[in-house]
Amino acid sequence: MRWRVRPGVALAGGVILGIVFAFAVWDLTPLRPVGPSPTSVTPAAVPAIVYTAQATPLAASPGGSTVATLTPATALQVLGAQGSSLHAGLDLYRSPDSPAILYQDPSTLARAGVLASPGDAQPTGTVDIAGSSWQRVHLVGWVARSATAPDVAALWSQASSLYAQTCSSCHTAHDPSEFTGRQWVSQFRAMVPRTSLTPAQADLILRWLQAHAAKQ
Ligand code: HEC
């Protein structure tokens, strides 16, 4: 038996098949963006510089292995954001004699943190500061957004009230400008064991004293 199809039916069938095919192709074209890109920068929401509000890890990836443990009040250049993490860059210094210890400012000996594996950080140059040779180190990593503050002023006011409470119980509190940043390191370390400051609180107060110390 031969199939005989009338032209009208063939045309209607062709149109229906065409429509089904067009819809299938249209649905298979996922050119619309699928969510935010991994390191989308949100300049309106995130300032270019933020500060660590507490001792916090700098991680190789969001929630990943620790590159360095950062001291409170360390400046971070915001490179981007992903979820609850910030992508940050840091320009720091270290002494060739103790390559794990990172400084924000070698002239005051203000610390920025401690490297997990000092050998992994390649120095980008050498500078002479206060009569010694310092290596420049550029670090990039991730910090929890909740461990940062947009402004250092709030951290300094926290530090100064902690200082007033803690360091005036036996003698009147010494004005930060009585000593240079370098002198505060030894003065402060001699006094911390007489207090009940946590290491993170002590780090924050020392950073505040150094930021408000006498110039060399
Ligand atoms: C438990 C009592 C006590 C507390 C708390 C204390 N100090 Fe002292 N501080 C002393 C005594 C006593 C001296 C005198 C020198 C000594 O014994 O070392 C002194 C000396 C100093 C000096 C040396 C002054 C000079 O002219 O050389 C500085 C600076 C100082 N303290 C800062 C601090 C700071 C900062 C804190 C808070 C972290 C602090 N002190 C907390 C007891 C205390």
In a domain, 25, yes or no: no
Ligand 1: residue of 163, 171, 180 to mutate (most ligand atoms within 8 A of CB) is 171
Contact 84, 90 (CB under 8 A): no
Residue environment code for 54-88, b if the CB has 16+ CB neighbours within 10 A, otherwise e: bbbbbbeebeeebbbebbbbbbbebbbbbeebbbb
Are residues 137 and 183 both part of a single domain?
Answer: no
Contact 198, 176 (CB under 8 A): no
Q: Which candidate, 199, 216, 190, places its Cα nearest to that of 111?
A: 199
E strand map for 71-131: 75-82, 85-95, 98-105, 110-115, 123-129
What is the structure's pLDDT at 131? 87
Are residues 128 and 57 both part of a single domain?
Answer: yes
Q: How far apart (Å, rounded) are the C-alpha atoms in residues 177 and 43?
A: 37
Residues paired with 50 in a beta bridge: 76
pLDDT (tens, 9 = 90+) of the chain, 216 residues, equals 455 656 665 555 555 555 544 444 444 444 444 444 455 555 556 669 999 999 999 999 999 999 999 999 999 999 999 999 999 999 999 999 999 999 999 999 999 999 999 988 889 999 998 889 999 999 999 999 999 999 999 999 999 999 999 999 999 999 999 999 999 999 999 999 999 999 989 999 999 999 999 987
Are residues 115 and 173 both part of a single domain?
Answer: no
Answer with the one of 132, 149, 166 that is the final residue of a domain.
Answer: 149
In a domain, 35, yes or no: no
Cα(174) to ligand 1 centroid in Å equals 9
Which residue's CA is the nearest one to ligand 1's atom 43? 170
In a domain, 39, yes or no: no
Which residue's CA is the nearest one to ligand 1's atom 29? 187
Cα(197) to ligand 1 centroid in Å equals 14
Q: Which candidate, 38, 82, 90, places its Cα nearest to that of 62?
A: 82
Are residues 78 and 129 both part of a single domain?
Answer: yes
Are residues 128 and 106 both part of a single domain?
Answer: yes
Are residues 166 and 142 both part of a single domain?
Answer: no
For residues 172, 177, 180, 184, the Cα torsion angle rounded to the nearest 10 degrees is 30
Q: Residue 200 is part of which domain span?
A: 152-211
In a domain, 196, yes or no: yes
Are residues 128 and 158 both part of a single domain?
Answer: no
In a domain, 33, yes or no: no
Which residue's CA is the nearest one to ligand 1's atom 1? 194
Contact 204, 158 (CB under 8 A): yes
pTM value > 0.85: no
